[in-house]
Structure 1
Amino acid sequence: MKKLIWFTLLNTSAMGLLIVSRVGSEKDNMDWVLIAIAFLLILVNLIHFFVERKKLNKLK
């Protein structure tokens, strides 16, 4: 369970930092695409966390 939590925190913080780094540069449309991809990856990561947590709780 600890590995799952650390994996989720690390990925979410990395995507958050990507979003923060791209917010200031609004010159290209590519920046908005990267921000959207980062948001989607954060959502997928959180969904994955809750699904895996549910599976791990069933094993106990």
Structure 2
Amino acid sequence: MNKDQVKGSVKQAAGKVQQKTGEVIGSEKQQAKGIAKQVEGKVQKGIGDLKDNHK
């Protein structure tokens, strides 16, 4: 795994936690931030996957 894959996976996990926390406390803002972080992590992991495949 390269750096982008690791960071992307971590962002996805953190985003999922943030989204679920927002659901529990009833904060749509936190849910949205969590979803955005998950998307950002997925993109970063995808970039890492591409880099890894082109070695």
TM-score, normalisation: structure 2 = 0.69
CA distance in 1, matches of 2:21, 2:12: 14
Give unmatched runs, 5+ long, in structure 1: none
Q: CA deviation at 1:39?
A: 0.4
Larger RCO (alpha carbons 8 Å, 6+ apart) = 2
Q: Percent identity?
A: 13
The residue aligned with 1:18 is 18
What is the aligned residue count?
A: 55
- Please identify the structure whose Cα radius of gyration is greater: 1
Say which of 26, 50, 54 aligns to 2:50.
54
CA-based RMSD of the aligned residues comes to 1.9
TM-score, normalisation: structure 1 = 0.65
CA distance in 1, matches of 2:3, 2:44: 13
Give unmatched runs, 5+ long, in structure 2: none
CA distance in 1, matches of 2:41, 2:18: 15
